[in-house]
Structure 1
Amino acid sequence: MSHGKQFTLYTHKGGPNGWKAALVLEELGLTYEPVFLDFNSGEHKAPPYLKINPNGRIPAIIDHKNNDFIVWESNALIQYLVDKYDTGRKVSVAPGTDAYYTQLQWLYFQASGQGPYFGQAAWFMVYHPEKVPSAVERYVNETKRVLGVLEGELSKREFLVGDKATIADFVFIPWNDGALHFLLKDADVDTEFPAVAKWHKKLLARPAIAKVWAERAEAQQAK
């Protein structure tokens, strides 16, 4: 593979976590080549990819300007990107500050709370071979609980950390999009979670994020 761009991003057209990485790469103006893995053929579990990410999940990045350094786990690679390349703190806060640990707090909450619960809700609603109403109810309720945590914070402030949009906000976008438009499609989210809905729309209006979101739509429509 020719490395005309700084990063190779191993991702998936539908996988929310890969789009989290793309959002941050674009916000930082870092060049990258996306490689969309075919989950149906098990490409993410095949030996060539397992050499990159032994966990067999997406995303993973290779930084070709840093001796082909590999990072996997979405929020770890996002932290790598800002620690190494956001020296001007455009979309992050300085390491060692109190705000830095608040930023980490939200990254961890997204990875341990939002992603798994929203993902399980989608699994039991769509992919599980048997209908398990109690499981759907549990994970939809957890989805609402997580949104409620965000609602509580965002009703008091514009962004999760400080007075600007940061990676702490960006990492929630792909999963929240799935919740607002699919998992909770029968709910009135603008009424139930007005601060979250406003925040989400504001983030999607950012030029870099709008660009990635258009690329996402194009990729998901392509066969």
Structure 2
Amino acid sequence: MSSPQFTLYSHAGGPNGHTVAFLLKALDLSYETKYLDFAKGEQKSDAYLSRCANGRIPALVDHANGDFTVWESKACMLYLVAKYDNENKFGVGSSPEEQALLSQWLFFQASGQGPYFGQAAHFKMFAPEKIPYGIERYTKEVERVAGVLESVLSKQEWLVSNKLTIADLSFITWNNFGLYALLPEGVNAEEKFPALVAWHKKLLALPYVAEALKDREEAMKAK
């Protein structure tokens, strides 16, 4: 049995690595996931820092391309689409305009959704003391980001180019958690953001997404 083409360095509970797994599965690319133990500081080890200078997950190693390594989940996805999505199933056209719109949504996820949802989770669930200002500030940002997505998805099926792309896939993991746990008290996602919730459920029903999320559940159980 041949070795997997890719090694994906991830974390069982962290959302970002699983986003890359969606695309690896969708493109039928073989990979092995190595889950780092943050409690042991494995993400800050010399061995891992030699692959990922940021000491975060994910990092993706392409063994068929001279062990080329890329980190940051959106960079991983862009690499996979550019090099291995031969039918352009998850990318967009080559025009500067379409490429800019794809980048727009990927950057919004990376700079808007991910950090704000993460801070909301920290202050609402994990901070050693409850800080009302932090909870209010970041849960309202979750609501704001959801509102941006709702404003677009209420008018169109997908985020860009009238097709499912990596832009859509990039939002799944944080929405899977944030839409039901990180909104301000009293805000119901299905009532306030019906188009967003419908889009999210459609993404969850994709076979490769469901399979990757099942892998995540198994990894969480094994912790």
What range describes the TM-score normalised by the shorter chain of this pair?
over 0.9
Partner of 2:56: 57
Distance 1:188 1:212 in 2: 27
Partner of 1:192: 192
**What amino acid is the match of 1:197?**
V
Partner of 1:9: 8
Distance 2:136 2:6 in 1: 40
Partner of 2:203: 203
Partner of 1:138: 137
Partner of 1:116: 115
Q: For residues 66-145 of structure 1, what are the structure 2 equivalents within 5 Å? A: 66-145=65-144
How many residues of Structure 1 are paired with residues of Structure 2 in the alignment? 222
Change (3 A) 1:16 1:186: farther
Secondary structure in 2 aligned to 1:56? Answer: coil
Partner of 1:217: 217
Secondary structure in 2 aligned to 1:150? Answer: helix
Q: Aligned-pair distance for 1:187?
A: 3.2
Q: Aligned-pair distance for 1:186?
A: 5.4
Distance 2:2 2:121 in 1: 36
Distance 1:3 1:68 in 2: 16
Identity %: 52
Distance 1:178 1:95 in 2: 33
Q: Aligned-pair distance for 1:97?
A: 4.4
Q: Which runs of 5+ in 2 are unaligned?
A: none
Deviations 1:82-140 (A, max 9, x none): 01111211111133342221111100000000001000001111222221111100000
Distance 1:178 1:149 in 2: 17
Distance 2:93 2:29 in 1: 19
**What amino acid is the match of 2:212?**
V
- Aligned CA RMSD, in angstroms, stands at 1.5
Moved more, 7-16 or 82-91: 82-91
Q: Which runs of 5+ in 1 are unaligned?
A: none
**What amino acid is the match of 1:12?**
H
Distance 1:186 1:206 in 2: 30
Deviations 1:52-106 (A, max 9, x none): 1011000000000100000001111111110111121111113334222111110
Deviations 1:21-53 (A, max 9, x none): 111111111111000000011110111111110
